[in-house]
Amino acid sequence: MYLSDVILFVFQQSPPSLDAYGFWETIFVYPFSFLIYLSTLLSGNVGIGIIVITLFVRLALLPLIIKQQKTLGVFKEWRKEKQKINERYKKLRDTNNKIQYENEVKEINDLSKDYEFKPFKYGCMPFIIQIILIISLFRSIRKENEFSEQTFFLFTLGEPDKYFILPLFVGILAYIQFKFTSPNFVILRYIMALLLILLCSFLPSALNLYFLTTYIFLIFQHVFVNKYVLNTQNKLT
């Protein structure tokens, strides 16, 4: 895109109007539309704007993800110790000894306190935020014709990818990311990747672009967190 085309594109854009948004959409969807509008002004393309917003959100979530990974590491250690306690009390449980059962529960509770383990801490928040983002992006593309009619390379952002390129790459990247995070679930990786390819073939290219950027980021995030954050923490402990 030439500089003159970018300047013309910028001046042709107008900020999203609140009139088209309901109460909940004003809270969740409009801010997303406005952020896409701002990033589009800077980049000259809605597709690039979506990539920028996705990277910004993923970077904002990174501290939460790091805490989540640390919590998962604590959980693995807690589970090993809990299994030892369960094995120790296994024969006593078979005798239906209520006192021994209460002692087992007490030991497990004390173990949780020692590890400061909170099962639901940080667990659901990144997932909830991502669901909100996906719905907001989908509604934003549907609400704003200026977004949905824009193209990014071969793809019209408001329509499914007729060349099937984006869904295929999303599936491949998802498989790689699942391989990192779930190395023992081989069949599940293939199933999830194929389901994602099928789903993305029906979704607007804008959402495909979001998923593509997200999985690229997640792959680099996994390498960074495991190599530089968790390894450093293990050396310190």
What average pLDDT does the segment 81-98 reach?
Answer: 69
Burial class (CB in 10 A: 0-12, 13-18, 19+), 120: exposed
**Structural domain of residue 162, as residue ranges?**
3-231
Average pLDDT taken over every residue of the chain = 78
Domain count, the chain: 1
Q: Is residue 236 part of a domain?
A: no
Q: Is residue 62 part of a domain?
A: yes
Q: Is residue 65 part of a domain?
A: yes
Enter the pTM of the model. 0.75
What is d(CA 112, CA 159) in angstroms, rounded to the nearest whole number? Answer: 50
Q: Is residue 77 part of a domain?
A: yes
Instruction: Please list, in sequence order, all residues whose beta carbon lies within 8 angstroms of the beta carbon of residue 119, skipping any fewer than 6 positions away.
Output: 75
The reported pLDDT for the residue numbered 140 is 78
The reported pLDDT for the residue numbered 212 is 96
Q: Look at 96-100, 187-191, 212-216 and tell me which has the smallest mean pLDDT.
A: 96-100
Q: Is residue 237 part of a domain?
A: no
Q: Is residue 227 part of a domain?
A: yes
What is d(CA 83, CA 109) in angstroms, rounded to the nearest whole number? Answer: 13
The confidence band for 119, taking pLDDT boundaries of 50, 70 and 90, is: low
Residue 190 predicted with pLDDT over 70: yes
